[in-house]
Structure 1
């Protein structure tokens, strides 16, 4: 496949390098150049997809493949199977410092004359390819960087398209719950009335219920002896102030996180436009740079409304991480239990446990490090039934406790967590207790890292295949005029599609999930059943079993 390298030059120019030959191109001519070359299906190689894609998408140009050098360098620099010396060389330190484009309002490719703005894509690409080729895990790493880069393309397209959003529905919801929009700096009427009820019932007329120290002191003066103001603590208290206080907390959270200010900042032209950050966490899971996209609150989902004549196709994969654990460990008994919609019930039917709850407790306990109680007991019992699966996470935990790096199925390495692992045995007992707790904490992290990270890799392969399938469903036009992804959350996707294509989209979503499973777990087919809903509002979508 032809690789075309794009590097930024001063003066709104672009350096295009292909096959070792370079040419200078005006920035204004770039969309037409890219559109013309897409017929040849090249792989575009650039420093950061979040910088290059927005102006292309704004011009109606979509690219099929890219290699995101920033994301790939981060992967390779932590991968245990890579000789990191091969990543050294010209401007290597600058590449290590390169961060993602942070906001939607950063569409300009050239924002100054800093050295970070003019890194040579062809030079860095040569280093990365050499490092991958020299690795004993080259095939897996190639898949990993390709999936990560495809995820970056999907993120850019989702940010560009936005989630269809009804400001009228959202504002009506706020008015119903909080009262009319207040002046800046003031509480809405119903929230203020709730605060007054709390003050009256606690006999604290000057109380600011948002201040934890003030609230704790007021509770104690009212004879409510609590050590904190958590909701679970307050619910156990028999006092008339508790109900309005909990209601105040809920309303205040809505006002501060998804109130009118949120609409003003994040909703434009009928679209909620968060900024997605692929690989925003160490495991490869995404994060978002604002708007709370990856913690989409249930209370405002009714405002996510498809365009007229369009629908949302919402798909969740059931029990992703336990299925991934079965596949990456090669545990055929657990893989058999995973056939069908409910892995936990499959374990019951196989005779491994008596109840679905026991199955869930045992598997989640293994992935999160439960050692005591009912969950710990189930881990011990299921280890004998599924030794490969439970042994894999146990080995990852021991590796973390010993200060060793662990890796996902495709080779993403766990981050260095700092600290020394060989403290003197003559250290005081208190220090040894601290060290032991820290070791166990790191072990719990690495235990979960291998599974959660591999789950993120499966999800990347899922959306990478799906975005291409959706593009082919459309007849013509840019991304947003065809069925397109608008939301992705770990194990869930939302596609905005013309109503007449809903069934076709649902089929493609399911096929893409099957393809992702085969791509990662070729030798051991694993079912990834989906819960698929076709809805007009995101709030209407069904959720999978847990």
Structure 2
């Protein structure tokens, strides 16, 4: 019985080689089949042996298998694992890390650029282009050598158990991302149109703005005394506001909201509805919803922390106002679960801070912090704790940090240590071992120059600002990245459990960082809901063992996503 099966394609010959591997990745048997015979060959081996499938990129192999009705239980995605191991601090010294870049290597997704003023650009969920390097016609020997290098890197690492779990979870996530795109989230286009019409007015014939937006434009023009104003043009809008006596750096809603002028309310409403139209309006409906399904194109590990991104469709930004269009099929239900306050709970588990772990018991960690007298109110607790994770040093969060530090010294010490490492240009790692990019040579040169005798004061201020920005990035990296790992383990456990419920038809259809949606036959919905809870518990144990941290869920069984 093979432990793994390596798949490689010869595009010129239109054949695929299936190489059976034993537990030490030594070849046992080799079979060559035509391209169109691959689904049958994979289905037979999957049913008989349940091997771990090894391939260069899940996105190159799995969609065709799914289209042929073939699903696999496990895989090892060489490209995703290569990206992790190339940079993993726990595998420093591995041959893989010093080898020249090959076809499996891709640029670190959204890696932070030191010249940018805001390193959190690296953490935002932006659409990721699908232009990664293509492994092409790598031979079985090429990919087998890559697999062995990866296994050697894990075995020789300082934390092999954690790295193995991370690679398995990342590869499992790739399978699930492809399955969710294939299956799709049930979506009612008629209801979507009704919701848009209620918010914007009827769909314009021949283009142009819907009625509600045109009404808001007329109001904005009148209030700013500019009959030709185009509110979509930042220069035009800034000029109109300047004539009213306001000097703004941008037309962001944060700056507009601070103005004392009657235009604020209609302008903000215009921005909100205009964004809805452009991101999820009728054009989005035409492009992304087919046969009653929205099929999100996820990019696993598409953000440097390990969070997913999307390759179009905006799955990670579905507005609440349109979630009523996500409706279960007749006789089915949506089981929706949201991990409550995931990042603070992860911080409690990572740091071993027992006082914070105690606060994490129950559904509302922030309220328990306030009830303990650490800070006056729940709102203060949220500001303080998120400020610690994201590096807020001013305002309410900054003022409350001393209280938080006294109450939860180990938790605060963990993120502070990560921040100081980032300020020095050092990489930091998540719980399972995903490692941040180190500071660039230019960044380190600026730090060195700023510390030299006689350094220019402007250079010193610039270097300190960049160091603070990088420290904010690394303090969040360790928490957000570990939360992403918990979510991957949650998904993997839930995917496995769903196969054993009823006739196995319940399936995951949507994922949003710390939220999942399962489409389930109505008769199985309660059992599915329990599986979601059990999977969350298992994810906590897989990462943190017996750490006394509860990963609470907000869970609902509904017909419409909006009702969750």
TM-score of the superposition, structure 2-length normalised?
Answer: 0.88
Alpha-carbon displacement from aligned partner over 1:328-368 (angstroms, at most 9, x marks no partner): 11112221221121222333444544433333233222212
Matched, 1:6 2:34: no
Change (3 A) 1:357 1:41: same
Per-residue deviation at 1:239? 4.5
Alpha-carbon distance change, 244 to 333 in structure 1, aligned in 2, over 3 angstroms: closer
1:544 match = none
Deviations 1:165-185 (A, max 9, x none): 111011122223323322444
Distance (Å, rounded) in 2 between the aligned partners of 1:491 and 1:373: 28
Contact kept in structure 2, 1:488 and 1:494, CA below 8 Å? yes
Q: Structure 1 residues 336 and 114, CA, compared in 2 at 3 Å: closer, same or farther?
A: closer
- Return the alpha-carbon distance in structure 2 between the equivalents of residues 463 and 425 of structure 1: 53
- Local SS of the residue matching 1:422: helix
1:245 paired with 2:258, answer: no
The size of the alignment, in residue pairs, is: 529
Q: 1:357 to 1:214 in 2, by over 3 A?
A: closer
Does 2:556 align with 1:533? yes
* Partners of 2:490 and 2:536 within 8 A in 1: yes
- Partner of 2:136, secondary structure, is helix
Match of 2:24 in 1: none
Does structure 1 conserve the Cα–Cα contact (< 8 Å) formed by 2:201 and 2:211? yes
| CA–CA distance in structure 2, aligned partners of residues 338 and 483 of structure 1 | 31
1:362-377 to structure 2, matched below 5 A, reads 362-377=384-399
Q: For the residues of structure 1 that align with 2:384 and 2:241, how far apart are their CA atoms?
A: 40
Q: Are 2:160 and 1:138 equivalent residues in the alignment? A: yes
Q: Tell me if 1:422 matches 2:442.
A: no
Distance 1:277 1:165 in 2: 21
Say if 2:217 is the partner of 1:187.
no
**Any stretches of 5+ residues in structure 1 without a counterpart?**
477-481, 542-546
Conserved? CA contact 1:370–1:379, under 8 Å: no
Q: Are residues 191 and 432 of structure 1, via their aligned partners in 2, closer, same or farther at CA, if it must alter by over 3 Å?
A: same
**TM-score, normalization: structure 1?**
0.91
1:431 and 2:459 matched: yes
Structure 2 counterparts to residues 99-178 of structure 1, below 5 A = 116-118=136-138, 120-178=142-200
How many angstroms apart in 2 are the aligned matches of 1:520 and 1:345? 26
**Are residues 177 and 35 of structure 1, via their aligned partners in 2, closer, same or farther at CA, if it must alter by over 3 Å?**
same
Q: Which of 230-239 and 182-191 deviates more?
A: 230-239
Residue 43 of structure 2: aligned partner: 35
Determine if contact 2:85/2:97 at 8 Å carries over to the other structure: no
Q: Give the alignment of 1:283-302 within 5 angstroms.
A: 283-302=305-324
Name whichever of 82-91 and 410-419 sits farther off: 82-91
Deviation of 1:377 after TM superposition, in Å, equals: 3.2
Q: What is the root-mean-square deviation in Å for CA atoms of aligned residues?
A: 2.6
Shift of 1:432: 0.6
Distance 1:199 1:88, change over 3 A: closer
Quote the Cα distance in structure 2 between the aligned partners of 1:501 and 1:250. Answer: 38
Q: 1:94 aligns with which of 91, 103, 119?
A: 103
| Cα 1:402/1:61, change in 2 over 3 Å | same
The residue aligned with 1:271 is 293
Deviations 1:483-541 (A, max 9, x none): 11111111110111111111001000000000111111114132111110111111111
* Maintained 8 Å contact 2:86/2:97: no
Query: Relative to structure 1, is the Cα distance of residues 177 and 224 closer, same or farther in structure 2, using a 3 angstrom cutoff?
Result: farther
Change (3 A) 1:339 1:24: same
- Contact 1:17-1:122 at 8 Å conserved across structures: no
Deviations 1:428-459 (A, max 9, x none): 01101100111111111111111111111111
Residues 245, 99 of structure 1: alpha-carbon distance in 2 compared, 3 angstrom cutoff: closer
